[in-house]
């Protein structure tokens, strides 16, 4: 009932608003759940997979020494400043990735910078890491952590004011952001793959990645560190970044960020051209993300965590990423199109799928391809 109501009534109303305004309205609507403990408890109980039964355990995994009650998490970008983590944790997500934050507070890129492609169930954004700064996020998260109830990751990026051709300054900027958030995050995701900060993706090149990730790893001292990669890397580029990931001994890979590709879209090409640059997310990214997850898993082996992101809207989509090798999956655009109860709905469907597969938990199915 909730999904039908959202699709038929609430989403059409929200989509009458500019995307940024709709996003801000959604965050405001989550305010009562964020601040009222009894309301959070009621929401959490209402969306639970199956309280006091084995069904909930079927979709839980333990990775990086953390217990994830569901494999379905929220991707970075939705709650950039940790304004609503307790509310989001109550909606059925198994983990949250907050941010991306930078060491220096910064505004969004000039508007318009966020666009919907409803025919493709996609978004295009060129926001460019707008956030209040890593210190501000950390201060807010220190207060809210006890009420979140699921593992929390924080994504860090490069401040726009730091020139990308000054590698020492870039590394120092990332280190400052990392130092600010490491104590309040269960894991930190190093975002070197957004297409919306000029030159940022050059940090995926082997030598740049080695300099950055080595510096962060040296300061990690018990922190869990992952890197988020682009879907647009060719085979050689992917091999380079994964070689560094293994050399530096990161804890995992998030695959993938948004894409700069615009192939096989249903939306009118003139509309796409008018929108211009930005990262495309949602359904068009699904196939490429699946392929990258498969390649990452084959390269890094079973020990490293792989988080699959791209076009997740249903249990089928999540299960496809699991079978390709993902330990966890994340959604963002699917959350926009499917509504606030989508993570809980996918979790319930996954629990039934795992039971039908004859597996004890979904972790038993990671990397098990079905022909």
CB 148 within 8 A of CB 91: no
For the chain, give the percent of residues with pLDDT over 70.
97
Q: Which residue do the tokens 């060129």 mark?
A: 126
Quick one: pLDDT at residue 50? 64
Given a cut of 50, whether residue 371 has pLDDT beyond it is no
Q: What is the pLDDT of residues 192-231, one digit of tens each?
A: 999 999 999 999 999 999 999 999 999 988 899 999 999 9
β-pair partners for 228: 191, 254
167, pLDDT greater than 70? yes
Can the peptide bond before residue 335 be classed as cis, meaning omega within 30 degrees of 0? no
pLDDT for 170 beyond 70: yes
Range 168-196 average pLDDT: 97
Mean pLDDT of the chain: 95
Q: How many helices (H) and strands (E) does the chain have?
A: 16, 13
**Phi/psi at 109 (5° precision):** -60, 160
Over 80: is that where the pLDDT of 370 sits? no
Q: Which residue has the higher pLDDT, 335 or 5?
A: 335
Lowest pLDDT segment from 38-52, 83-97, 261-275, 334-348: 38-52
- Tell me if 314 sits within 8 A of 329, measured CB to CB: no
* Confidence class for position 49, pLDDT limits 50, 70, 90: confident
- CA distance linking residue 133 with residue 156, whole number of Å: 10
pLDDT by residue (tens digit) across 279-314? 999 999 999 999 999 999 999 999 999 999 999 999
Would you say residue 32 has pLDDT above 80?
Answer: yes
327 pLDDT above the threshold of 60: yes
Which stretch of 9-13, 89-93, 137-141 has the lowest confidence by average pLDDT?
9-13
pLDDT band at 54 (very low <50, low <70, confident <90, very high): low
pLDDT for 52: 46
Rounded average pLDDT over 53-76: 90
Closest CA to 179 of 231, 216, 205, 232: 216
Fold of 2-363: TIM Barrel (3.20.20)
The percent of residues in the chain predicted with pLDDT above 90, rounded, is: 89
pLDDT band at 40 (very low <50, low <70, confident <90, very high): very high
Contact indicator for 103, 161 with CB cutoff of 8 Å: no
pLDDT above 90 for 326? yes
47-51, 85-89, 179-183, 211-215: lowest mean pLDDT where? 47-51
What H or E segment, with its residue span, contains residue 152?
strand 152-156
ω into 86 cis (within 30 of 0)? no
pLDDT at 4: 84
What is the DSSP secondary-structure string of 108-139?
PPSSP-EEEEGGGTEEEE-----BS-HHHHHH
Q: Token pair of 133, please?
A: 């700064």
CB atoms within 10 A of CB 19: 18
What sign has the CA pseudo-torsion 261, 266, 271, 273? positive
Q: How far apart are the first and last CA of the chain?
A: 33
pLDDT tens sequence across 239-255 = 999 999 999 999 999 99
User: Does 189 score more than 80 pLDDT?
Assistant: yes
Residue 363 pLDDT grade (very low, low, confident, very high; cuts 50, 70, 90): confident
> Residues 144, 159, 193, 194: which is the catalytic one?
194
Please say if 194 is a catalytic residue. Answer: yes
pLDDT of residue 259: 97
Higher local confidence (pLDDT), 221 or 323: 323
> What residue ranges do the domains of the chain occupy?
2-363
């Amino acid at each position: 009932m909730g999904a039908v109501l959202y699709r038929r009534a609430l989403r059409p109303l929200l989509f009458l608003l500019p995307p940024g305004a709709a996003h801000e309205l959604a965050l405001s609507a989550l305010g009562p759940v964020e601040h009222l403990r009894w309301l959070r408890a009621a929401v959490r109980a209402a969306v639970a997979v199956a309280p006091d039964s084995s069904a909930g355990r079927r979709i839980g995994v333990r990775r990086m020494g953390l217990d994830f009650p569901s494999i379905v998490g929220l991707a970075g970008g939705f709650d950039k400043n940790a304004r609503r983590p307790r509310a989001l944790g109550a909606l059925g997500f198994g983990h949250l990735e907050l941010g991306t934050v930078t060491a220096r507070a910064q505004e969004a890129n000039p508007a318009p910078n966020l666009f919907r492609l409803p025919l493709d169930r996609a978004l295009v954004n060129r926001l460019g890491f707008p956030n209040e700064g890593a210190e501000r996020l950390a201060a807010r998260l220190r207060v809210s952590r006890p009420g979140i109830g699921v593992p929390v990751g924080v994504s860090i990026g490069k401040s726009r004011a730091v020139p990308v051709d000054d590698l020492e300054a870039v590394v120092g900027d990332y280190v400052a952001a990392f130092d600010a958030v490491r104590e309040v995050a269960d894991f930190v995701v190093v975002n070197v793959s957004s297409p919306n900060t000029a030159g940022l993706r050059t940090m995926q090149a082997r030598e740049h990645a080695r300099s950055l990730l080595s510096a962060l790893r040296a300061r990690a001292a018990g922190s869990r560190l992952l890197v988020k990669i682009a879907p647009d890397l060719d085979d050689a580029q992917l091999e380079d970044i994964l070689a560094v990931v293994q050399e530096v001994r990161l804890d995992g890979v998030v695959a993938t960020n948004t894409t700069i590709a615009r192939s096989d879209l249903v939306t009118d090409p003139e509309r796409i051209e008018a929108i211009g640059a930005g990262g495309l997310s949602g359904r068009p990214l699904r196939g490429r993300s699946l392929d990258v997850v498969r390649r990452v898993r084959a390269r890094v082996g079973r020990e490293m965590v792989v988080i699959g992101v791209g076009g997740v809207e249903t249990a089928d989509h999540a299960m496809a990423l699991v079978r390709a090798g993902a330990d966890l999956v994340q959604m963002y655009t699917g959350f926009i199109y499917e509504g606030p109860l989508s993570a809980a709905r996918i979790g319930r469907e996954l629990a039934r799928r795992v039971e039908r597969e004859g597996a004890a938990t979904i972790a038993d199915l990671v990397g098990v391809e079905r022909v």
